[in-house]
Amino acid sequence: MIRVWTGDTRGILRYESSLQRNQVDANTERQLDQGEIVPKVKVESKTGLDTAEAYRRVKTLLETDVDLKKMDSSCKFTFNDAGQTGSAKGSKFSAEMSVASAGAGSNVTIEVDLPLMLTPVKGMVQSTLERKLQKALA
């Protein structure tokens, strides 16, 4: 039996069994149990800015944006200025960010791993990140 935990409107977790063992293999069950299978949100944005300027703007966005802090106040960012990459780790999500050269401009990629419980808001997270990234790189 695959264990799936869902939250109700009061934030209380409850156990739901949704899949029978014969519907998934043992490896998939182990990955679910250990949290290795998580919904991912991937946002990419191409910009005419050079990589250094794009990285600076995205770093500033991630460090200072009030809405992002509201999603997970425990989130901590780590940046690698030399590699123009960054990561975020909080209690509700984790994320990786990178800026790479793309022709005359650059390509910014942000990939967010959400817990299974936040699957219903995956679209909202993606659209919010796309909007904020587009604004920061304009």
User: Model's pTM, two decimal places?
Assistant: 0.70
In the chain the domains, ranked by start, together with CATH numbers, are: 1-37 (no CATH), 38-136 (3.30.530.20)
- Predicted confidence band at 97 (pLDDT cuts at 50, 70, 90)? very high
- Predicted confidence band at 16 (pLDDT cuts at 50, 70, 90)? very low
Give 113-119's long-range contacts (Cβ < 8 A, gap of 24+). 113/38, 113/39, 113/40, 114/38, 114/39, 114/40, 114/41, 115/35, 115/38, 116/4, 116/5, 116/37, 116/38, 116/39, 117/5, 117/6, 117/7, 117/13, 118/39, 118/92, 118/93, 119/39
pLDDT at 30 over 90: no
The pLDDT tens digits of the residues spanning 48-91 come to 999 999 999 999 998 888 887 777 788 889 999 999 999 988 88
